């Protein structure tokens, strides 16, 4: 039972950890893009397009963590049930 409790508690940490690192990375990307646009306003279109692609690539990693969360989240009742049988 305690294993299930630890499992449930740690599961909640997965997305925040992923989101924290992704936020750092996205902040860096955004800052660099803004600097680039400020230096060369005429390249704003190109930079903005690449910015969206890069942000989407980083975002995808958080989404993988969220998917894992949703998949494991549904298993907690089963886990508790099985551990209770032992």
How many residues lie near other proteins (CB under 8 A)?
15
Residue 6 binding other proteins, by CB under 8 A: no
- Whether the CB-CB separation of 62 and 22 falls below 8 Å is answered with yes
**Residues from 43 through 62 that contact other proteins (CB under 8 A):** 45, 49, 52-53, 56-57, 59-60
Token output for 58: 């980083």
Q: Report the C-alpha gap between 84 and 62 in whole angstroms.
A: 33
User: Which residues bind to other proteins, rule: CB under 8 A?
Assistant: 45, 49, 52-53, 56-57, 59-60, 63-64, 66-67, 70-71, 74
């Amino acid at each position: 039972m305690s294993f299930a409790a630890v499992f449930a508690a740690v599961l909640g940490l997965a997305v925040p950890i992923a989101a924290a690192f992704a936020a750092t990375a996205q902040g860096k990307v955004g800052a660099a893009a803004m600097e680039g646009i400020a230096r060369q306003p005429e390249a704003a279109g190109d930079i903005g397009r690449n910015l969206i692609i890069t942000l989407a690539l980083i975002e995808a990693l958080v989404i993988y963590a969220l998917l894992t969360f949703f998949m494991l989240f549904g298993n907690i009742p089963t886990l508790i049930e099985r551990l209770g049988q032992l």
